[in-house]
Amino acid sequence: MTSNDSLARLAAVIESRKPANGGDPDKSYVARLLHKGPDAFLKKVGEEATEVVMAAKDAEHGGDRSKLVGEVADLWFHSMIALAHYGLAPADVLAELERREGLSGIEEKAMRKLRAREAGDD
């Protein structure tokens, strides 16, 4: 079993919890967040990102590193809810990471800026 399989299984569960697929907001946390709309799940993404930062800072000073893993898992989970809402999947993110493989971060950022400028000129 690969981590990609785990992400795909979780994405399928999230997809099944969409209100359009019969997800019940009274019985499912995911369905509740999706039912409430982007403000609800995006707020959770922001909260979890902050918790990742705090856990990393704690780990830097001798804190429990497993807390960082847990917070990143929470961030990924809530990010996957956002992806599902917008019709995207973990495979889309993995494809983007694979596209970037071998590029330096500096080159990749410069390419994104150039594309954004070109899109703005149209």
> pLDDT tens, 53-90?
999 999 999 999 999 999 999 999 999 999 999 999 99
The pLDDT value given to residue 110: 81
Distance in angstroms (rounded) separating the CA atoms of residues 79 and 33: 12
Instruction: Give the contacts of 74 (CB within 8 A, at least 6 positions apart).
Output: 48, 51
Segment holding 96, helix H or strand E = helix 90-100
Average pLDDT over every residue of 18-43: 96
Q: Does residue 121 surpass a pLDDT of 80?
A: no
Go through 60-86 and write b for each residue having 16 or more CB atoms within 10 A of its CB, e for each that does not. Answer: eeeeeeebbeebbebbbbbbbbbbbbe
The pLDDT value given to residue 105: 75
Instruction: Give the contacts of 15 (CB within 8 A, at least 6 positions apart).
Output: 21, 84
Q: Does residue 20 surpass a pLDDT of 90?
A: yes
The pLDDT value given to residue 1: 47
pTM of the entire structure?
Answer: 0.82
Of the two residues 114 and 40, the one the predictor is more confident about is 40
Q: Does residue 111 surpass a pLDDT of 80?
A: no
> Where do we find the tokens 């898992």?
73
Question: What DSSP character marks residue 72?
Answer: H
Q: What is the mean pLDDT of the chain?
A: 92
Question: What DSSP character marks residue 22?
Answer: T
